[in-house]
Amino acid sequence: MPSPICRMPDSRWTSCVPILASLWCIGLLSVLAGCSQEAPIITYQVPTKMPAVLAAEDTRTIAAILPQKDQAWFFKIMGRKSAVDSIDDTFHEFVENIEFEDGKPNLDSVPSDWRKGADRTMRFASYDINTPVQQLDLSVSQLSRMDDWSEFVVMNVNRWRKQVGLSDSKEEWASAETMTWSGSDEFADAPAIWVDVTGRPTDSGPPMMAGGAPFASMAGGPKTSSTAPAASDPHAGLPRDAQEAIEQAKASGKSMPAPKERAFPKASDSDDAPKSDPALDFDRPEGWRDGRMSMMRMAAFNAGPEESSAEITVITAGGDLRGNVARWMGQVEGGQPDDADVDEALESAEKLTVAGREAQRFILQPKDKSDDKASSIDATIVPLENDFSLFIKMVGPADVIADQDEAMRSFLKSLKY
C-alpha cells in the first residue's frame, strides 16, 4: 500500500518536516564523508627548451649583384639561417644562369615551387619561397651603376652586413666574392658578385626575426605586414638621395633612374657638395677638376679633355697587393690575367715614398698599345696600419694617363695623410 504520509492533508504536512530533514542530513553526511578522501596527484612535464620556431636564430643573407651596361641587378634573400640554408644551393644555381634580354633579367627559369609575389615598391619582381621553417622572400631589383664598380659593390654589401648585425668590411668587395655567371664575358670590367653574410641583428629575438614573425611566415601561413623593413626593402640603408631617385623613377613609370641620372651623390658647385677628407692634405695639380665624391672617396678629380677625361680617386681599403693588381689588370685587358703577367707587373712596380711611407706605383696598359683610347690604370698603393692601404688610382684613356704622368707624380709627392 502507498505510504499514508503521501495522503496526509495539507494541515498535517508539517509533521513530515523532521523526517525529511533527517533524510537530507544523512545524504549530506555521506557526501562529506566522501570529501575526506585525498584527491589523486597528476604530474605534468613542462618542456624547458624553447620550440625552434620561437628561438632566436642567426639571420643569413645571400645575394647576387649582376652588372649590366648602365645598371646593376640585385637578387637577394634574407631570413632565418636554417631556412636560407635549405635553399642556398638552388638559389646559387638560379642566379648563375640568369640571362638578360634588353637589359632585363629573364625569370622564366625560376624554380616551379617559387611563387610570384605581390608587386612592391623599388622592386622589379618578388618571389615567395616556402621552407619548413619560414616563407622566404626573394627580391629582384636594380640600381644605376656607379663609375667605380668596386666602390658600388662595397657600399651595398656593407649595408647588407649592417642589416644582419655585422660591421662594415674594408676588405675587397667588402668580404663578398666574385662568382661564375653566364654573362660574365660581356662585363669583364665588372665581375658578378656573390654575397653570403650571417649575423644576429641587434633587435633580433623571439619571436620576431629579420624576416618577420615566425608564425606569420611559416610555410603556407598567412602573410602579414610585420615584415621588417630590411627584409622587404632591397635598398634599405641607401643614401636619401638614392631612395628619392628611385621613387621618382617609379612615379614617372620608369623602372630605374635614367643612366645619366645616377642615384648617388654627384659633384656639385654648391656649398653642400661633398668635400675632400680633411685628414688628407695635398696640392692639386693644375688642370685637375673636382670629381664625383662619395662616402668612400677621400678625394676625387677629373683630368684631361672633357670628352675623354681620366678619373682620379683616393680611398682607403683592404685586400692583398697581388689580388688588387690582378683585378686591375683584368679590368684593363678583360678577363683573368695569367699568373706570369701578374708576377711581371709586381716586379716592374715603381718604388716611391708617399706620405712618408714606402709605396708602389703600377702603370697598367693594354697589350695592344696601338689604341690610345683603350682604358689604362695608374694606381699607387700606400700601406697603412692594420692591413689597410691608401689607393690613389687614375683610370682613363691610355693617352690621357700618359699625359698626366707628371701631374700624378707631383700629386703623390704632395700627399700627406
pLDDT digits (tens, 9 = 90+) for 112-135: 899 999 888 778 999 999 999 899
Cβ burial, residue 20 (10 Å; 0-12/13-18/19+):
exposed
Within a domain: 151: yes
Supply the DSSP symbol for 132. S
Distance between CA 75 and CA 62 in Å, rounded? 8
Distance CA(213)–CA(222), nearest Å, equals 11
Contacts of 13 (CB under 8 A, 6+ apart): none
Q: Domain check: are 77 and 151 in the same one? A: yes
Residue 276 lies in a domain: no
pLDDT band at 37 (very low <50, low <70, confident <90, very high): low
Identify the CATH number of the domain in which residue 333 sits.
3.40.1000
Number of domains making up the chain: 2
Contact 93, 79 (CB under 8 A): no
pLDDT band at 49 (very low <50, low <70, confident <90, very high): low
Same domain, 76 and 219: yes
Residues 6+ positions from 240 with CB-CB distance below 8 Å: none
Which pLDDT does position 357 carry in this prediction? 94
Q: Looking at residues 29-33, what average pLDDT do you find?
A: 53
Last residue of a domain, one of 182, 211, 242: 242
In a domain, 66, yes or no: yes
- Is residue 180 domain-shared with residue 306, that is, in the same domain? no
Same domain membership, residue 207 and residue 64: yes
Residues 101, 238 share a domain: yes
Instruction: Please report the sign of the dihedral spanned by the C-alpha atoms of residue 188, residue 375, residue 141, residue 170.
Output: positive
pLDDT at 252: 44
- Residue 349: band (very low, low, confident or very high) from pLDDT cuts 50, 70, 90: very high
| Number of residues written out for the chain | 417
Domain, as residue range, for 223: 59-242
The highest-confidence range among 4-8, 236-240, 340-344, by mean pLDDT, is 340-344
- Going by C-alpha positions, the residue among 245, 246, 190, 185 that lies closest to residue 72 is 190
Within a domain: 403 = yes
Q: Are residues 195 and 310 in the same domain?
A: no
Confidence of residue 279 (pLDDT cuts 50, 70, 90): confident
Within a domain: 134: yes
**Predicted confidence (pLDDT) at residue 5 exceeds the cutoff of 70:** no
Residue with cell 684613356: 397
| For range 411-417, the mean pLDDT | 95
121 part of a folded domain:
yes
Residue with cell 631556412: 83
Confidence of residue 388 (pLDDT cuts 50, 70, 90): confident
Tell me the per-residue pLDDT of 319-336, one tens digit each, with 9 for 90 and over: 678 888 988 888 888 777
Q: What is the mean pLDDT of residues 254-277?
A: 42
What is the pLDDT at residue 20?
Answer: 53
**Based on the domain organization, do 237 and 297 belong to the same domain?**
no
Q: Are residues 218 and 118 in the same domain?
A: yes
Does 48 have pLDDT greater than 80? no
Last residue of some domain: 184, 217, 242?
Answer: 242
Residue range 376-394: mean pLDDT, rounded: 90
pLDDT of residue 143 exceeding 50 = yes
Are the CB atoms for 190 and 149 separated by under 8 Å?
A: yes
Which of 205, 225, 242 finishes a domain?
Answer: 242
Q: Other C-beta atoms within 10 Å of 138: how many? A: 24
Q: List the grid coordinates of 69.
A: 651596361
pLDDT at 23: 56
Residues 197, 322 within the same domain: no
Task: Say if 399 falls within a structural domain.
Answer: yes
Do 133 and 237 lie in one domain? The reply is yes
pLDDT of residue 148: 85
311 pLDDT above the threshold of 60: yes
**How far is Cα 313 from Cα 208, in angstroms, rounded to an integer?**
43
Question: Is 256 a domain residue?
Answer: no
299 and 200 together in one domain = no
What is the structure's pLDDT at 366? 86
Q: Does 191 lie in the same domain as 66?
A: yes
Average pLDDT, the chain: 76
Task: Flag the least confident range among 59-68, 139-148, 181-190, 224-233.
Answer: 224-233
